Amino acid sequence: MTSLDTFRIILIGCGATFVMDVWLILLKRFGVQTLNFAFIGRWFGHLFRGRFMHASINKAPPIPNELLLGWFVHYAVGIAFAGVLVTLVGVTWLREPTWVPAVLVGVCTVAAPFFIMQPAMGSGIAGAKTPAPMKGRLRSVANHAVFGLGLYLSAWLIAWFLR
């Protein structure tokens, strides 16, 4: 893997995360509750204080700059997931991206919130402790499918631009 490949992965991860963010903004405009990135920052900040699990992240003490930290973590995870995609399908995908592996990997990334973030923030596995778990699960799967589409669109745009 070359440094250009690494740079492409970073751009693809940021682009896919941005596509997901636009999707979340649209949902919010239609009255759909979306992610609170401050809580992601709060959870991540508490990791450095030795705390992984919370009964309820909204009751945990705030962390300085938690919203900014949450956005940083959000984009860093998007880049990491782009790296996972390229690791699974190979670097040639960067030059000739196809949508199926991108969307499949995007949908599979829903495992992170279901089995790590939501339980650690006090929502239970796959949001089982929330008021409407199935609604939240479907929304999460849709959000991550959009992320997967963003992986493909970003990779396609970068490949087109670098030709």
**What averages of pLDDT result for each successive group of 10 residues across the chain (163 residues)?**
96 98 96 92 95 94 96 98 98 97 98 96 96 95 98 98 91
Domain count, the chain: 1
Residue 47 lies in a domain: no
Sign of CA dihedral 124, 125, 128, 131: positive
Q: Which pLDDT does position 117 carry in this prediction?
A: 95
Q: Which pLDDT does position 30 carry in this prediction?
A: 95
Q: Which pLDDT does position 98 carry in this prediction?
A: 98
Residue 155 lies in a domain: yes
Residue 144 lies in a domain: yes
Residue 52 lies in a domain: no
Residue 48 lies in a domain: no
Residue 92 lies in a domain: yes
Residue 99 lies in a domain: yes
Residue 8 lies in a domain: yes
Q: How far apart are CA 106 and CA 77, in angstroms?
A: 12
Its domain, for residue 25, covers 3-32+72-161
Q: Which pLDDT does position 35 carry in this prediction?
A: 85
Neighbouring C-beta atoms of residue 25, cutoff 10 Å: 10
Task: Count Cα neighbours of 60 within 13 Å in the Cβ-side half-sphere.
Answer: 25
